[in-house]
Amino acid sequence: MRYLPKSPAERTEMLREIGASSIDDLFSTIPEEYRLKRDLNIPRQMGESEIIDHFKNAAAHNAVGYASFIGAGVYRHYRPVIIDSLVQRGEFLTSYTPYQAEITQGTLQAIFEFQTMICELTGMDIANASMYDGSTGAAEAAMMAVRITGRDGIVVARTVHPEYREVMETYAQHQEHSANEVGYGADGRIDLATLEQALTDKSAAVLVQSPNFFGVVEDIPAIAEIAHKKGALLIVSIAEAISLGIVRPPAEADIVSLEAQSFGVAPSYGGPFCGVLAAKEKYLRQMPGRLVGETKDKDGRRGFVLTLSTREQHIRREKATSNICTNQALVALMATIYMTVYGKQGIKDLAVQNLAKAQYAAKTLSENGKLLFANAPRFHEFVLQTSETAEQLNARLLENKIIGGLSLKKWYPELGNATLWCATELTTKEQIDQAAAVLTEASVATTA
Amino acid sequence: MATTEQPFVGTPRKVTAHLTQNEKLSFEISSPGKKAYKLPPLDVPEVDPAQLLGKAAREDTGTLPELSEIEIIRHFTRLSTWNYAIDLGMYPLGSCTMKYNPRVNEFVSRLEGIAEAHPYQPESLSQGSLQIVKLLQDCLIEITGMDTITLQPAAGAHGEFTGILLARAWHKSKGNARRNILIPDSAHGTNPATAAVCGYQVVNIKSNSQGGIDVAALEQIVNEDTAALMLTNPSTIGVFENQIHKIADILHAKGALLYMDGANMNALCGKTRPGDFGVDVMHLNLHKTFSTPHGGGGPGSGPVACKKILEPFLPIPVVEEGSDGQLRWNYDRPESVGRVRAFYGNFGMFVRALAYTLANGPDGLRQTTEDAVLNANYIRKKLEDVYDLPYTTPSMHEVVFSDRRQVKNGIKTGDLAKRLIDYGFHPYTTSFPLIVPGALMIEPTESESREELDLFVDAMRQIAREADENPELILSAPHSTRVSRLDETTAARKPVLRWKPQPE
Ligand SMILES: Cc1ncc(COP(=O)(O)O)c(C=O)c1O
């Protein structure tokens, strides 16, 4: 086996030095009847070229060469080459959690930079070193709010990503807290009047997403006022991190749960991504996950360490703020490099391009359908209502190597034939025009 | 061997001193107007954000650094050189399985059709991804000897969460979710934390004199309130629970389940299967046993394998093969515990773990396990005369010593660990498991050559000698790093968790 650095003679020699007569001596504590006496029934050992062929073959059975208008929590953005060059350095890639600060300063300083940038972008005071993803981050934020307020109700907007809501429900059903949902109004934003009614003095938090699942930017200051009036916290989930380049940060929130996949991370069929929680400083002790802090060494030199670990499972065990241990560190590093590449000006320029592309796409595509929630502020996604079903429309687009908008029927049947579209800086005018042309044909075909 | 000419640095055979570059925070080297990006010209009409977004428009993007590309490359490359890594040498962190991370794994995970796959693109255009999921599932089911699996959990602790939810759902389906989860005092902190997150009471159970489960005591503790026992096997002291089937029987007799923390599967793959020795539900850590890189703390992947009885409760969606041979996701599972994560899990890690499995095959996985166990036993043999071995039960893939002999000179495991850095090694795991006061938990993995092991043994023996002859040298270690003995107390007492612009 090519990864194993030992010759047969070395193995024999080592066994002799240990005083074992055969390798099976070392497995003698496994009761005889449970020892596997056959080969595992898995594919035979392959050479590197065969492995590459295996995955190239798999890749060829996925969509390759399609233009895509799907977003819905996973976004295709340009990924600068240096991200991969840097994260493939073995010193980052093959290093463990930085518990031994002296020989992990690289990882620690990078996380400190990450925490800082996340604070700057979200308008929060503190940020952790990452969570698994946006969905579990939202669930952890809700549990954090329950601990902070001592209340147990979570009020969730129906405009939060449906799969995030499902994850929150999974987490909530076994805790003793309840989650109830608040619908949206004609503008695609959470209905403020219903929200006000839904809140009680048992409500720990209101959780909204902005831009929400429809791509619409929620009125965060108004929601915050309603939540705070009832003594509940406001949690804002952000699934599209690039939006922070041009959309006002949710500064009135108490906790922000961000999915940073857009910052240089491939869609990769849904993961690995990078969740992160940011919050007001006063909630520090209830923050789950790792935190890196600045300090000095014994000679007064600046350095960084994992800190406040008395919140964490390895110290507090069943009293910890969360069970999370391994997080998404390397992906957080990718996001850090991405934010450094675009920087203060780039993140804004990029967000504006996304805005422009989506504006053009919405205008062009809605010539063959109705743009829902047209008057609310949007980032780079929009909902189109058509006479055709999503299946019909997408079948035609697929023939033209275009993956059209995502059908919303499963989650929002009340919207009829509605599809969710996304345009990013990678979407070209040509692709948009082409998709529009196919839609036109379609609507001609249906009217005929 | 050891000369005393350089008492200060010892005589590390593995390393010599080398310059390391200083590097400030990116914010501190930033200056306005520098750029590392160039956007293509906009091919659609320009927009006015203020007009489109109204009061939701952002005015100030906050302080992000402004740097050129070369500065960014140097910045992160310099930072990287401050890290130790498997690629540099042995990384014997017990319980963490720091094995070689094959580069072909990285290559295939970046193939266009794989990296660019969107989780919501049509299933007909995701067959390649689904095949990867299915084949990895099949391999892991065979390796664990279980009946079914979900790949959705994002790490070990998330797998524990999922597995305990499965157990809870099963109990609930029988009318009572039960109250308690039994957890040995040798367990990893995520086990009790998970039980709590799932709404269970933790009942801690004391290990016996061999560091294992006291079977007779267990029999007294298990009752109709017990939902499950969370057991790490081999245990966190690297010992196989040879009474495992008896343990399973005791639980099953009271209607409780056996959960296995599979963090230590690197000791078992191809040699024995948890499904065969009575385990009902377990998680794997693909970032340990299956070689996906730790990346400075993550990402991981924590598949949960279980017996047939728990299958109805698996998180949605589950992959299925249609009669037409096409793979698809099934969401229609009324008894499911729900989703534990958006989409399907850390798919990029599935690709890497499968590449690793294919590179090994059945013979390679078995040889890997054997070498991992051989290496641990070799270290044990070579160090047991100088470090205290609190449990003499045969070791599998890791060996746990204690600092008992060194403590008499005022030196603790953490100090020995810091000194090991000067010898060019990453320290072993310190202070875990809790049942060993002053633990030195050493897991070499299969990836170490005999030469590297000998260097490690040599370093550990020199350090033991220093502990007797020159304790101060150890107490002030490391001496060779950019920074040494960072002040963790002040870091926690006065937290500085972000850089702040200096007032002008
Ligand atoms: C024995 C044991 N159990 C559970 C875990 C938790 O796994 P993870 O860090 O992937 O969440 C670890 C490792 O960290 C471990 O060593």
* Residue-wise pLDDT tens digits, B436-493: 999 999 999 999 999 999 999 999 999 999 999 999 999 999 999 999 999 999 999 9
Helices (H) and strands (E) in chain A, counts: 13, 15
- Please check the confidence at residue B8 and state whether its pLDDT lies above 70: no
DSSP state of A245: G
Q: Which residue from B116, B125, B393 is facing A267, i.e. has the nearest CB? A: B116
The Cα B402–Cα B397 span in angstroms is 17
Q: What is the pLDDT of residue B1?
A: 39
- Please check the confidence at residue B10 and state whether its pLDDT lies above 90: no
Residues in chain A: 448
B465 phi/psi in degrees, rounded to 5: -70, -45
Which domains does chain B carry? 104-357 (3.40.640.10), 369-490 (3.90.1150.10)
Is this prediction's ipTM beyond 0.95?
yes
Q: What is the mean pLDDT of residues B103-132?
A: 98
Q: Which atom of ligand 1 is least distant from the CA of B95?
A: 16
Peptide bond into A413 cis (omega under 30): no
pLDDT above 70: percentage of residues in chain B: 98
Cβ neighbors of A165 (< 8 A, separation 6 or more) are A156, A158, A179, A181
With H, G, I as helix, E, B as strand and everything else as coil, classify residue A102.
Answer: helix
Least confident segment among A272-276, B1-5, B79-83: B1-5
- Cβ–Cβ of B117/A298 closer than 8 Å? no
CA distances from A28 to B208, B237, B262 (A): 20, 17, 20
Q: Hey, which of B98, B162, B183, B190 would you mutate to test ligand 1's pocket, going by the most ligand atoms within 8 Å of its Cβ? A: B190
pTM over 0.95, yes/no: yes
Q: How close is the Cα of A7 to the center of ligand 1, in Å?
A: 32
Q: What is the mean pLDDT of residues B334-345?
A: 98
DSSP state of A62: B
Q: What is the pLDDT of residue B12?
A: 85
Ligand 1 binding pocket includes B95 (Cβ within 6 Å) = yes
- Cβ–Cβ of A88/B370 closer than 8 Å? no
B305-334 residues touching A, CB cutoff 8 A: 315
Ligand 1 binding pocket includes B157 (Cβ within 6 Å) = yes
Q: What is the mean pLDDT of residues B4-9?
A: 46
Q: What is the mean pLDDT of residues B111-119?
A: 98
Q: Hey, which of B93, B185, B284, B285 would you mutate to test ligand 1's pocket, going by the most ligand atoms within 8 Å of its Cβ? A: B285
Q: What is the mean pLDDT of residues B238-243?
A: 95
Which chain A residue has the Cα nearest residue B42?
A: A353
With H, G, I as helix, E, B as strand and everything else as coil, classify residue B212.
Answer: coil
Ligand 1 binding pocket includes B266 (Cβ within 6 Å) = no
Cβ neighbors of A54 (< 8 A, separation 6 or more) are A46, B358
Which domains does chain A carry? 67-78+343-447 (3.90.1150.10), 81-338 (3.40.640.10)
Burial per residue of A22-58, b for 16 or more beta-carbon CB atoms within 10 angstroms, e otherwise: ebeebbeebeeebebeeebebbebbebeebbebbeeb
CA distances from B336 to A105, A382, B163, B165, B173 (A): 43, 32, 12, 10, 11
Q: What is the mean pLDDT of residues B392-398?
A: 96
pLDDT in tens, chain A (448 residues): 999 999 999 999 999 999 999 999 999 999 999 999 999 999 999 999 999 999 999 999 999 899 999 999 999 999 999 999 999 999 999 999 999 999 999 999 999 999 999 999 999 999 999 999 999 999 999 999 999 999 999 999 999 999 999 999 999 887 766 779 999 999 999 999 999 999 999 999 999 999 999 999 999 999 999 999 999 999 999 999 999 999 999 999 999 999 999 999 999 999 999 999 999 999 999 999 999 999 999 999 999 999 999 889 988 899 899 999 999 999 999 999 999 999 999 999 999 999 999 999 999 999 999 999 999 999 999 999 999 999 999 999 999 999 999 999 999 999 999 999 999 999 999 999 999 999 998 665 554 3
Cβ neighbors of A387 (< 8 A, separation 6 or more) are A369, A417, A443, A446
Residue pairs between chains A and B whose CB atoms are closer than 8 Å? 694
DSSP state of B123: G
Q: Which residues of A touch B142 (CB under 8 A)?
A: 40-42
List Cβ<8 Å contacts ≥24 apart for B407-412. B407/B438, B409/B467, B409/B468, B409/B471, B410/B471, B410/B475, B411/B467, B411/B471, B411/B474, B411/B475, B412/B438
B392-411 residues touching A, CB cutoff 8 A: 393-394, 396
Q: Which residue from A94, A116, A346 is facing B86, i.e. has the nearest CB? A: A94
- Cβ–Cβ of A59/B239 closer than 8 Å? no
- Cβ–Cβ of A20/B76 closer than 8 Å? no
The Cα A218–Cα A203 span in angstroms is 20
- Cβ–Cβ of B111/A55 closer than 8 Å? yes
Q: What is the pLDDT of residue A346?
A: 97
The Cα B20–Cα B79 span in angstroms is 10
The Cα B291–Cα B447 span in angstroms is 11
For chain A, say whether B70 makes contact (Cβ under 8 Å).
Answer: no
CA distances from B435 to A147, B185, B237, B262 (A): 30, 7, 9, 19
Q: What is the pLDDT of residue B113?
A: 97
- Cβ–Cβ of B101/A94 closer than 8 Å? yes
Q: What is the pLDDT of residue B7?
A: 44
Q: What is the pLDDT of residue A443?
A: 61
CA distances from B100 to A45, A95, A334, B85 (A): 17, 11, 21, 10
- Please check the confidence at residue B182 and state whether its pLDDT lies above 80: yes
CA distances from A406 to A90, A420, B165, B243, B289 (A): 38, 5, 31, 53, 37
**Closest by alpha carbon to A164, among A91, A237, A107?**
A237
pLDDT above 90: percentage of residues in chain B: 94
DSSP state of B501: P
Q: Which residues of A touch B120 (CB under 8 A)?
A: 70, 72, 74, 406
Q: How many CB atoms lie within 10 A of CB A413?
A: 9
Q: What is the pLDDT of residue A448?
A: 39
- Please check the confidence at residue B53 and state whether its pLDDT lies above 80: yes
β-pair partners for A206: A155, A234
Q: What is the pLDDT of residue A445?
A: 53
- Looking at residue A321, its amino acid is T
Q: Which residues of A touch B22 (CB under 8 A)?
A: none
With H, G, I as helix, E, B as strand and everything else as coil, classify residue B194.
Answer: helix
Q: How close is the Cα of A364 to the center of ligand 1, in Å?
A: 51
* Confidence category of residue B9, pLDDT binned at 50, 70, 90: low
With H, G, I as helix, E, B as strand and everything else as coil, classify residue A301.
Answer: coil
Upper half-sphere CA count for residue A161 (Cβ side, 13 Å): 30
- Cβ–Cβ of B374/A41 closer than 8 Å? no
Peptide bond into B315 cis (omega under 30): no
- Looking at residue A245, its amino acid is G
Ligand 1 binding pocket includes B186 (Cβ within 6 Å) = no
Which chain B residue has the Cα nearest residue A397?
A: B122
The Cα of B387 is separated from the nearest Cα of chain A by a number of Å equal to 17
- Cβ–Cβ of A94/B87 closer than 8 Å? yes
**Pairing, β A418-422 against β B327-330:** unpaired
Q: How many CB atoms lie within 10 A of CB B396?
A: 28
For chain A, say whether B344 makes contact (Cβ under 8 Å).
Answer: yes
- Looking at residue A212, its amino acid is N
Q: Which residues of A touch B418 (CB under 8 A)?
A: 100, 102
DSSP state of B502: P
- Cβ–Cβ of B189/A50 closer than 8 Å? no
- Quote the mean pLDDT of chain B: 96
Q: Cβ(A213)–Cβ(A71) under 8 Å? A: no
DSSP A65-94: S-EE---TT-------HHHHHHHTSHHHHT
Q: Which residue from A303, A314, A323 is facing B160, i.e. has the nearest CB? A: A323
Q: What is the pLDDT of residue A269?
A: 98
- Cβ–Cβ of B77/A86 closer than 8 Å? yes
